Amino acid sequence: MTVLGAARLNDDAIWLDEWWSIYHAGGAHYGPVSIAETWSRVANEDPWNAPGYYTLLKGWGALVGWTAYADRALSLLFGVLAAAMAYRMGRDVGNSHVVGLGTAVALGGSAFFIYYLHELRAYTLYAFLVTFTMWAYWRVVYRGGSWRAQFGLFFGVAAMLYTHYFSALLATALGLYHLLFVIRIWDMRTLRTRGFSPLSIRPLILMAAGGALFLPWVGVLIDGLRRGSNAAVRQEPISEALTMLWTLAYAFSSAFIPLLLIIFAAALISLITAKPPREPRELESNSAQTSRLYSPFLHKRSDGEQGVGGIGVNSTIFAWFIALTVLILALALNAYMSVNAHARHFIVLLPPLALLAGIGIQELARHRISPAIILTLWLATAVWNSFTDFNDVLFGEENQRYFRIYLPWNVMADELRADVQEGDIIAFSVPEDSQAVSGAFEYYMRPLNVPIAIVEWWTNDETQVSEFQSVASSYTQNAMRLWLGQETDQPSGEWLTQFREVIDPNFVSCNTSIELNGLRAELYAQVPQCCHAPQTEADRPLYTFGTSVALTFAQPELNGDSLRVLLAWLGGDTLPPYQYSVALHITPVSEAAQSAPLAQVDYGMPLDDFACRAADIPLTDLPAGNYELRVIVYDWQTNERLTTQTGDSGILETFVVGN
């Protein structure tokens, strides 16, 4: 489980929901922000989600950094902890290592759950907290109720509510189970003899106290309900009950539904054939009395452990009741609000189902079917489907088209990073549902430190062509080079056509492109000489400064009252960074090169191996006469110049001002 999860931490780019996680936590270039600001972002922009995971991610990112790889490791951590917690829950509930191992493997060995080990979302934390809360409840009710278990139950309810709203389904199921099978409100004789004693209602009080901590956030939840379900807005909800059940079975079993049915059938047999409980005896010690009061279905085994025949009827009732109640509540909620749009919304059901699977595997073992065979089949299926399109089926074709989680924005950014330079700009066209990929695009492209845009950002339903072209012209006018990209699986949209009309008069194609799965980026430049470094001897440098820096191209051009000078530099990365500058001097032809210039402009030597830079030199204060344009490379701290083959400067142009 750990290997499969770790291997995928940087396997694909983040998608829309993962971007929201980083944004809410104030990670990368979206922060830093305070915890209060994180909660405010969630409340105002994403009230369909609880803030607990984002708060935890905020602290995690402060420790490990804000790369997708490092942040996804938090999901892997809690996924592994969820499997470990599942073993403890199954071991305690079923009084059997087989039940514990079966529960852990059923949860952690699901290809569906393994997928979320690398998802920058709350789902593995959610599964851990659901499992932990079930375990804490069982310890409080049936194992003596130590103060640690009681605090765990209180904390678990509060933590899981602040992690995912649907965890309220589990809290409700636990409360109903306690009323029906622990207090037994349907048994008037038991109520008359025991009543609602402080010991019997303590678990309810603990869960209610944990739920009370969620009250400050209830207003945000209500606002989210009022504004409509985020999932229902983005996706087609799984509205039919049978579709929900099939989706859940497909996801949980890694598409091995027949094996799942066999295991659940065995768990049902375990419920039917479980030995009947004996009534508890009156005990003298408070701890024993507490245990008996909370354990009306248990009696002593010869070895001193509770239960009989490995699994008592209370254990199977608990597993079946929690699983079925949560499922029924989820179906009812979905019928009323249509909120479930993907199998990941069912994760609250995975720990109860895993517990049922563990009980079923134990029952099969009683019928001489080796647990090793069942667990091996389950794990083999999970491993196999971790390398197939199993999860793509769960997303569905429609959702794939919307989210495009397969687009390799991370790889595209890495490819561009190798060639992008200061003075470049990046523009991509995403004609369909650009909002679904904007977050991932921006997250990966922003660190390139050049202007970035999706051209559809500049448009809406009322945008006129002239307005768009004006914005596009403003965006591209100062760029030396342009990387223009698009989705290869999508037809070219109207705005890409308009954008090309804007750049065609000012840019030439470099006949260079980056081709990836679903993405393509093409390079354009103002002049062909700025596309790439010279490759042949025919492209000799105009001047060589020092031993390694070469000026390969120069293009002075009058631009109104200024002289625009475009220069191409080779080998700037061989100089100490930020130590050398380029100076463009205008001096009279008759004066020496060391004379004070009448006009000049300076900029830092490019740090790239090859780069083009443009500079504008104002000419308004020059008197009439003949002038030279000289280029100089110098150490700005000492003013020491790098020499060329003709001296300490190179002449680029001679021109006349005035008559």
pLDDT at 242: 80
Evaluate whether 106 touches 378 at the Cβ level (below 8 Å): yes
**From CA 437, how far away is CA 448, in angstroms rounded?**
18
Lowest mean pLDDT among 185-199, 410-424, 644-658: 185-199
- Answer whether residue 546 shows pLDDT above 80: yes
> Comparing 295 with 588, which gets the higher pLDDT?
588
Residue carrying the six token digits 């660190």? 447
Among 72, 28, 71, 19, which residue's Cα sits nearest to residue 46? 19
Contacts of 536 (CB under 8 A, 6+ apart): none
DSSP 3-state assignment of 274?
coil
Query: In sequence order, which residues have a C-beta less than 8 Å from that of residue 633 and are 6 or more positions away?
Result: 545, 546, 549, 580, 581, 582, 583, 605, 641, 642
The sheet carrying 543-545 orders its strands as 543-545, 549-559, 562-570, 610-618
- Which residue is listed with tokens 């089926």? 393
Q: Which of 32-36, 131-135, 374-378, 617-621 has the lowest mean pLDDT?
A: 617-621
- Return the bridge partners of 610, or none: 570
What is the spatial distance between Cα 345 and Cα 235, in angstroms, rounded to a whole number?
13
Q: DSSP label at 491?
A: P
Give the mean model confidence (pLDDT) for residues 602-629.
91
Report, as an integer, the average pLDDT of 425-450.
Answer: 94
The pLDDT assigned to 298 comes to 37
The length of the chain, given as a count of residues = 659
Give me Rg for the CA atoms of the chain: 34
Which range has the worst mean pLDDT, 234-248, 399-413, 488-502, 614-628?
234-248
Residue 487 has pLDDT above 60, yes or no: yes
Mean pLDDT of the chain: 87
Predicted confidence (pLDDT) at residue 296 exceeds the cutoff of 60: no
User: Which of helix, strand or coil describes residue 372?
Assistant: helix
Give the pLDDT of residue 194: 61
- pLDDT tens digit sequence for 251-287: 999 999 999 999 999 999 999 987 655 443 332 333 3
Q: How far apart are CA 417 and CA 579, in angstroms?
A: 23
> CB under 8 Å to 376, separation ≥6 — which residues?
none
The answer to whether residues 191 and 197 touch, using CB atoms and an 8 Å cutoff, is no
Report the pLDDT value the prediction gives residue 86, as an integer from 0 to 100: 98
Determine the residue type at 584. Answer: L
pLDDT score recorded for residue 429: 95
Q: Is the separation of the CB atoms in 450 and 420 below 8 Å?
A: yes
- Please check whether residue 136 is in contact with residue 170, taking contact to mean a CB–CB distance below 8 angstroms: no
Q: What share of the chain is helix, strand, coil (3-state, %, to 5)?
A: 55, 15, 30
For 545-550, what is the mean pLDDT? Answer: 91
Residue 539: predicted pLDDT: 65
The confidence band for 235, taking pLDDT boundaries of 50, 70 and 90, is very low
- Tell me: pLDDT of 436 over 60: yes
pLDDT per residue as tens digits for the range 140-199: 998 887 899 999 999 999 999 999 999 999 999 999 999 998 887 766 666 666 666 667
639-653 average pLDDT score:
90
Is residue 195 classed as helix, strand or coil in its secondary structure? Answer: coil
> What's the pLDDT at 279?
40
Neighbours of 301 (CB within 10 A): 14
Longest dimension (CA), the chain: 118
Instruction: Inform me whether the pLDDT recorded for 340 exceeds 70.
Output: no
Residue 464, exposed/middle/buried by CB under 10 A (0-12, 13-18, 19+)?
Answer: exposed
If one counts every other C-beta atom within 10 angstroms of the C-beta of residue 559, the result is 13
| pTM as predicted | 0.86
The residue among 306 and 258 whose pLDDT is bigger is 258
Helix, strand, or coil here: 81? helix
> Distance of CA 517 to CAs 409, 410, 448, 591, Å?
10, 12, 21, 59
Confidence of residue 238 (pLDDT cuts 50, 70, 90): low
Instruction: Identify the residue with better confidence: 235 or 626.
Output: 626
Q: Do residues 179 and 185 make contact, with C-beta atoms less than 8 angstroms apart?
A: yes
One DSSP character per residue, 301-367 reads -TTS-B-SSSS-HHHHHHHHHHHHHHHHHHHHHHHHH----SGGGGGGGHHHHHHHHHHHHHHHHHT
Predicted confidence at residue 192, as pLDDT, reads: 62
Residue with tokens 């021109």: 655
Strands 519-525 and 508-516: antiparallel
Cα(617)–Cα(599) distance, rounded to whole angstroms? 7
Distance of alpha carbon 143 from alpha carbon 295, whole angstroms:
8
pLDDT at 190: 63
User: Higher pLDDT residue, 294 or 476?
Assistant: 476
Q: Which residues of 44-80 are buried (b: 16+ CB within 10 A; e: fewer)?
A: eebbbbbbbbbbbbbebbeeeebbbeebbbbbbbbbb
- In the chain, the percentage of residues whose pLDDT exceeds 70 is 89
What is the band of 558 on the pLDDT scale with cuts at 50, 70, 90?
confident
CB contact burial 244-278 (16+ within 10 A = b; e otherwise)? beebbbbbbbbbbeebbebbbebbbbbbeebeebe
522, 509 in Cβ contact below 8 A? Answer: yes
Would you state the pLDDT for residue 443? 96
pLDDT of residue 198: 65
Domains of the chain: 68-400 (no CATH), 409-530 (3.40.50), 543-657 (2.60.40.2060)
**CA gap 404, 489 in Å, rounded:** 10
